[in-house]
């Protein structure tokens, strides 16, 4: 009896030890498995970055090839809008009086100059990069450049360099938006939005006329000498094919009369319809897209942050809120002062001269040191300090 009892106890002990060994082996195997994919520093942002890594690779690899194509697309679309405006919209304004036509000519050409100037300055102006050697202020090290980074500086994987006060890499400019061309990017978006809205509003009566009426009351092409050749090209075959007793007349450079019967010109009418429709719909689409973009950048500028800093500040604010603290953006000086600093209007510079007219004035500061709303640097030690 006692022997059976001891055998049973020994069997239970062996089972317990076996179970402990199996549990230990299982915990070790699970730890080894998790060690391949998990560490204590992982968080939601890291997981999202890892999931989006293929997209980042695609952008980094092909953005440098897509950039020139997108710049060419902007130029072609803008040029097409300008050409259609000259051929179709300007003649329409002639019917509305001399002074209104003069206003369209002056206002339209001023908008065109500002759009072209700010766009090409945004494309060809270098956004700025940290110089080699000693820097007046360093906040971190760039893991890709293996170089110190000044405040508000971030690495662009497309341009493969660190950019001062980097906002984002803009494929439409084929350039980074940084310290030295941020103003050009914002002003290009503003003037392009104004220009798109202006063209859409001006072409709206033509759009309604062409879209609703089977026989539009206004044919802009009849005002231009280029249509004389088009009319003659369409009339000449009728002269050759018609009998001598049939009288052919051109009426208003838009229709051909054969024995008092009006024969419409489908080519000119279709061309007019397509051009007006293209002009109006394109400008409306661009206007809507730029409106959303400008609202976003207005919020960023009013808070004194860039697109990259918005995400950094949002994460930092959430972290401090969990500790019962409030985050304060050190570069936020209020909406008015933030816009003055962006546009370079802090000292003796006029809004009318330096914003509403082409100006190549440099932004204040060198992009290496920044004035902070929480503490003030001594300007005598660095005159370029913001």
Q: Which helix (H) or strand (E) holds 372?
A: none
**Active site (catalytic) residues:** 170
For the chain, the farthest-separated pair of C-alpha atoms sits apart, in whole angstroms, at: 139
Q: Return d(Cα 246, Cα 249) in angstroms, integer.
A: 10
Contact 301, 186 (CB under 8 A): yes
DSSP β-bridge partners for residue 154: 163
Q: How far is CA 89 from the centre of its chain?
A: 27
Q: Return d(Cα 210, Cα 219) in angstroms, integer.
A: 9
State how far the alpha carbon of 72 is from the alpha carbons of 78, 113, 308, in Å.
10, 18, 27
Q: How far is CA 181 from the centre of its chain?
A: 13
Q: Return d(Cα 374, Cα 331) in angstroms, integer.
A: 8
């Amino acid at each position: 009896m006692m022997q059976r009892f001891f055998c049973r106890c020994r069997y239970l002990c062996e089972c317990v030890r076996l179970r402990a060994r199996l549990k230990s082996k299982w915990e070790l195997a699970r730890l080894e498995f998790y060690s391949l994919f998990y560490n204590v520093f992982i968080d939601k942002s890291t997981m999202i970055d890892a999931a989006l890594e293929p997209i980042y690779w695609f952008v980094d690899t092909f953005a440098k090839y897509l950039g020139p194509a997108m710049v060419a697309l902007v130029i072609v679309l803008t040029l097409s809008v300008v050409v259609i405006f000259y051929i179709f919209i300007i003649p329409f304004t002639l019917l509305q009086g001399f002074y209104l036509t003069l206003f369209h000519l002056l206002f339209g050409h001023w908008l065109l100059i500002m759009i072209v100037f700010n766009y090409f300055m945004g494309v060809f102006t270098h956004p700025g990069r940290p110089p080699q050697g000693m820097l007046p202020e360093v906040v971190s090290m760039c893991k890709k450049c293996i170089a110190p980074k000044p405040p508000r500086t971030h690495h662009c994987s497309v341009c493969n360099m660190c950019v001062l006060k980097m906002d984002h890499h803009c494929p439409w400019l084929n350039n980074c938006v940084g310290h030295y061309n941020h103003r050009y990017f914002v002003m290009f978006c503003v003037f392009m939005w104004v220009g798109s809205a202006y063209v859409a509003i001006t072409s709206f009566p033509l759009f309604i006329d062409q879209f609703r009426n089977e026989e539009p009351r206004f044919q802009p092409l009849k005002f231009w000498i280029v249509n004389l050749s088009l009319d003659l090209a369409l009339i000449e075959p009728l002269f050759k094919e018609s009998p001598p007793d049939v009288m052919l007349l051109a009426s208003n450079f838009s229709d051909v009369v054969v024995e008092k019967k009006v024969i419409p010109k489908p080519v000119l009418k279709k061309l007019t319809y397509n051009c007006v429709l293209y002009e109006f719909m394109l400008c409306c689409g661009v206007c809507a897209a730029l409106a959303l973009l400008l609202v976003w950048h207005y919020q960023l500028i009013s808070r004194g942050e860039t697109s990259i800093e918005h995400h950094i500040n949002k994460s930092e604010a959430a972290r401090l809120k969990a500790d019962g603290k409030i985050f304060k953006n050190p570069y936020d000086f209020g909406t008015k002062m933030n816009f003055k600093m962006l546009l370079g209007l802090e000292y003796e510079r006029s809004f009318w001269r330096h914003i509403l007219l082409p100006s190549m004035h440099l932004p204040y500061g060198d992009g290496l040191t920044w004035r902070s709303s929480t503490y003030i640097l001594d300007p005598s030690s660095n005159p370029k300090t913001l």
